[in-house]
A and B are shown apart, each in its own frame.
Chain A
Amino acid sequence: MDNYLVAMATFAGIYALLALGLNLVWGMAGMINLGLVGFFAFGAYVSALLTKKAGWPMAAGLVAAIVLTAAAGAVVALVTARLRGDYLAIITLGFSEVIRLVASNEIWLTNGTDGISGIPGPARGQVTPATFNLIYLVIVAVVVLAALFLMERVRGAPYGRVLRAIRDDDQVAAVAGKAVVAFKVEAFAVSAGLLGLAGGLFAHYTSFIAPDGFTSLISIYVVLALTAGGTGNNRGAVLGAALVVFFMESTRFVTGGLPGLKPVQVAAVRELLIGLSLIVVLRVRPAGLLPERIPRPVTP
């Protein structure tokens, strides 16, 4: 049971990173990313392949995951930066599908739908699984705290103010002399980097990744986490991630106890509940549990 709780806390941390990444683009800059899972998967594959096949150390794999996912994010943002937000929604959704296609079909590289197993983790095999879980939880917790600290700095800095200006009215921001396109691309790249880092951490933790594990449902989890926690609020993103993991796990216990349902129906009910709760949160409490508070304007 302890092991289970530690594992869930680790997953909550990984979701918190994803939610923080989404908050930077959607919460602060008002750019949507509906293909979060694509960037998450991309980072996971980069770090897994570099550590397993090229023998890189885990830290180097994670750095590469951040850099390459950020580059992919920059390309996606660059194509749509001048266009209406709808196009970004379409293209990010498409991106995640293409990543899944490539991961499923480039068998020489990714082992196809069989996935990659035996991804190295810190001290895995040298310590008991329980100790490994604890070590990993500490690593993830440190990374989440660092990311939270950095994102809070961004939010309070003039940079964050520019992002909010772009979110609220990008024409006004442009008239005020801000390079809107550059800001958008930068923010999207940094956010994608965070998503890639989360992917790498996920791969090294579970030691196994496969295309089937990266469904668009994960994007919904993260959007739900951020919306429930409070769009625009970094602490809300972390809180929301913890709540969503808790919610997902409790649905496992509740639906598992429903009599007369086939396994596929139980799975369907769980996914349905996730989608439904996002719709309900959007309707009932769109600002989330911890609504965004704009930092006090600096008096000159």
Chain B
Amino acid sequence: MLGEIPQLLVNGLVAGTILAVPAIGFTAIYAVLRFPNFTIASHATIGAFAGYVANTAGGWPAAAAVLAAFVVTGAIGVVNDEVVLKPLRPSGALTTAIAAIALTIVLENVVRFVFGNDLRGYDLPIRRDWQLGGGMRIGPQQVENLVIAVVALAALFLFLAFTRTGKAMREVADNPTLAGIKGIDADRVARLVNFIAMGLAGVGGMLLGLDTSIDPLTGFRVILSVFAAAVVGGLGSIPGAVVGALTVGVGEELSLLVLAPAYRTAVGFLAILIVLTLRPRGILGERAY
């Protein structure tokens, strides 16, 4: 049984890297707009289906279809925020969170209306797993997903660290009042963060779907792990979301040693309980009260 650990670690790191993509979306919106945007779930589903259409109807390879998932989901995310959530933000973070849950149900059912409840698979070439030695193996699709996730994360970090707009976003997250005084347009930053965050959610949804299959609940099923990644890493911290996602990803895989596979997602909830009890700010976050 212990011999399985290296394989589980490999799987966990791959799963964690993919989980980091939507987790960053969730935490980035929290950092700038200060409310938990649960629509990340339905946007992940929308991304999975946008990529599916590009892949099967458009004949695009997976890597290109991911780009379509990003752009389509990002654009839909901006519209949703402008029309539904932004007008409610003055009523408070929790009211907005309630509206976000309602919006998630609406969007999920739009997808269900169009595509139905059937499981759908992407059109992917069939390839043999690669042997890594010592009985460990990894699927080429897993590697491709990993590369896509890493490229997305690297692009985001470069954007936030070096571009003017990226710096403006961090400034608003850090201190909105000061950012306003400096003449940074908060509305513009809000639209941008929504585009990027929801785009990432869409990419995350598609990467998850590439491994298995997709249906209207694809996003909702992963939501517990996304929350766990964001909370463990520290809500509102982008590097934290990556650390949290890797922790949760590896934790979920290692739990297979002691728990039935069905309880994998419950590990995330357990992680949230432990972190909030012992260190509510998470690994890299700010204060949580």
CA gap between A274 and B263 in the complex, in Å: 30
Q: Quick one: which of A30, A98, A274 has the most chain B CB within 10 A?
A: A98
Interface set, chain A 80-108, CB cutoff 8 A to B: 80, 82-87, 89-91, 93-95, 97-98, 101-102, 104-105
| CB pair B97 A97 closer than 8 Å | no
Residues of B within 8 A of A83 (CB): 276, 280, 288-289
B108, B263, B269: the one contacting A94 at CB < 8 Å is B269
Interface set, chain B 98-144, CB cutoff 8 A to A: 98-99, 101-106, 108-110, 112-113, 116-117
**Known contacts A223-B102, A275-B104, then 5 further A-B pairs from the complex at CB < 8 Å, ordered by chain A residue:** A91-B276, A105-B262, A216-B101, A271-B105, A272-B113
Question: How many inter-chain contacts with C-beta < 8 Å in the A-B complex?
Answer: 135
Q: Does A262 contact B (CB under 8 A)?
A: yes
| CB pair A217 B91 closer than 8 Å | no
B99, B109, B110, B116: the one contacting A282 at CB < 8 Å is B99
Given contacts A97-B265, A268-B109, contact A220 B102 (CB under 8 A): yes
A30, A86, A265, A268: the one contacting B97 at CB < 8 Å is A86
Q: Quick one: which of B35, B91, B102 has the most chain A CB within 10 A?
A: B102
Interface set, chain B 12-61, CB cutoff 8 A to A: 30, 35-36, 38
| CB pair A269 B113 closer than 8 Å | yes
| CB pair A275 B109 closer than 8 Å | yes
Chain B's interface size range is 35 or more
| CB pair A279 B93 closer than 8 Å | no
Residues of A within 8 A of B36 (CB): 86, 89-90
| CB pair A282 B98 closer than 8 Å | yes
A32, A87, A271: the one contacting B280 at CB < 8 Å is A87
**Smallest beta-carbon distance B42→chain A, Å:** 10
Given contacts A101-B265, A220-B101, A279-B106, contact A90 B231 (CB under 8 A): yes
Interface set, chain B 251-275, CB cutoff 8 A to A: 260, 262-263, 265-266, 268-269, 272-273
Residue of B nearest to A112 (CB): B262
Residues of A within 8 A of B235 (CB): 86-87
**Smallest beta-carbon distance B70→chain A, Å:** 25
**Smallest beta-carbon distance A63→chain B, Å:** 27
Q: Quick one: which of B30, B106, B280 has the most chain A CB within 10 A?
A: B106
Residues of B within 8 A of A102 (CB): 266
| CB pair A32 B97 closer than 8 Å | yes
**Smallest beta-carbon distance B228→chain A, Å:** 8
**Smallest beta-carbon distance B268→chain A, Å:** 7
Q: Does A293 contact B (CB under 8 A)?
A: no
| CB pair B102 A275 closer than 8 Å | yes
| CB pair B227 A90 closer than 8 Å | yes
A84, A98, A262, A269: the one contacting B266 at CB < 8 Å is A98
Q: Quick one: which of B36, B97, B105, B224 has the most chain A CB within 10 A?
A: B105
Q: Does A278 contact B (CB under 8 A)?
A: yes
Residues of A within 8 A of B263 (CB): 101, 105
Q: List 30 A-B contacts (CB under 8 A).
A: A32-B94, A32-B97, A34-B97, A34-B101, A85-B93, A86-B93, A86-B235, A87-B231, A87-B276, A89-B36, A90-B227, A91-B276, A93-B227, A94-B269, A94-B272, A97-B265, A98-B266, A105-B260, A216-B101, A224-B102, A227-B98, A262-B116, A265-B113, A268-B109, A272-B110, A275-B103, A275-B109, A276-B106, A278-B99, A282-B88
Residue of A nearest to B227 (CB): A90
Q: Does A286 contact B (CB under 8 A)?
A: yes
CA gap between A276 and B84 in the complex, in Å: 10
